[in-house]
Amino acid sequence: MSFVFKKLHIPGPILVESKAFFDERGFFTELFKGSDFVQNGIPMSFVQDNFSRSKRGVIRGLHYQLPPKAQGKLVRVLKGRGLDIAVDIRRASETFLKYVAIELSEDNNLALFIPEGFAHDFMAFTDDTFLLYKCTNEYSPEHERGIRYDDPDINIDWGIVEPLVAKRDADFPYAKNAEVF
């Protein structure tokens, strides 16, 4: 198997490590193999790929879509380094508003699977951070929602004083006022 799958302290998100094969030319790694992912609880019904390029200090999120257009995401950094966040927004969950934070980089060969019922956020640690993510449902503006990145009930430690945040993301409601799962 070309991947190592690791469950995290919150049920749902799965950390995926791709094995890399190095030689004098560089390296080779598989990014996705449907059969391995399905055997480890990750659907292979990805229908949309997204790509973002961010400057150092950019925070994107907390984004999610509501049913029936909810999305699972498989997130990977192709260039640079950043912090990927998955927040449990399932009100009935024992881990409601708890989160996992994983550093993803071009060097660590990690990806994070974020299932439906989680909000996704990302902060770039380096200029020209390239983020690629596969989605289990297509983008639907009418189902898209968000929570403020600085929600005190979630209390993410970004480690940055003045992040670059889109006005839309800064204007999202706090979780207590948001429409969630």
Look-up of token digits 């950019």:
58
Q: Which amino acid is at 92?
A: A
**For the chain, where are the alpha helices, taking DSSP H only?**
34-39, 167-170
Catalytic residue among 9, 133, 143, 174: 133
SS3 52: strand
* 63 part of the active site: yes
Given 63, 99, 120, 149, which residue is catalytic? Answer: 63
User: Distance (Å, rounded) from C-alpha 88 to C-alpha 100?
Assistant: 9
DSSP-assigned letter for residue 95: T
Q: Would you call 133 a catalytic residue per the annotation?
A: yes
The span from the CA of 13 to the CA of 166, in Å, is: 26
Q: What angle do CA 31, 98, 14 make, to 5 degrees?
A: 20
Find the DSSP H helices in 8-134. Answer: 34-39
Positions annotated as catalytic residues are 63, 133
